[in-house]
Amino acid sequence: DADVTQTPRNRITKTGKRIMLECSQTKGHDRMYWYRQDPGLGLRLIYYSFDVKDINKGEISDGYSVSRQAQAKFSLSLESAIPNQTALYFCATGIGQGTSGELFFGEGSRLTVL
């Protein structure tokens, strides 16, 4: 089984619908991240969390919200999806302060908003 699991892997939805992307990890890492990738572009950070009580906005948080339900679970929500949120979304985990900063990625959730 994958260490970082994202669900769903693919989702097609309509404008205005609420969508939740879920991420769970078995690596025991404190840090979790949500990134977005658009075709031909790099990854942009949406939100990140260092523990269940420490949640931070990233570069492009507008239109998104997150919930850190437990150390192992970090969900990303689109309250009212719009077409320009069509993208590939990645969850990643990291160990913590004083470490190398290495990240471990899930396989991605491809979201299409019509």
Partner 1 sequence: SQQGEEDPQALSIQEGENATMNCSYKTSINNLQWYRQNSGRGLVHLILIRSNEREKHSGRLRVTLDTSKKSSSLLITASRAADSASYFCAPFSGSARQLTFGSGTQLTVLP
Interface residues with partner 1 (CB under 8 A)?
4, 33, 35, 40-43, 45, 48, 50, 56, 58-59, 88, 90, 92, 94, 98, 100-108, 110
Please, what is the minimum distance in Å from the beta carbon of residue 68 to partner 1?
A: 15
Q: Which is nearer to partner 1, 3 or 20 (CB)?
A: 3
Q: Evaluate whether 100 touches 10 at the Cβ level (below 8 Å).
A: no
Q: Which is nearer to partner 1, 2 or 80 (CB)?
A: 2
Q: Which is nearer to partner 1, 11 or 105 (CB)?
A: 105
Please, what is the minimum distance in Å from the beta carbon of residue 101 to partner 1?
A: 4
Rg (CA), the chain: 13
Q: Which is nearer to partner 1, 11 or 50 (CB)?
A: 50
72-95: burial string, b at 16+ Cβ within 10 Å, e else: bebbbebeebeeebbbebbbbbbb
Residue located via tokens 């491809």? 110
Please, what is the minimum distance in Å from the beta carbon of residue 63 to partner 1?
A: 19
Reading the block at residue 37, the tokens are 């990738």
Please, what is the minimum distance in Å from the beta carbon of residue 74 to partner 1?
A: 14
HSE, CB side, 13 Å, CA atoms: give it for residue 55.
18
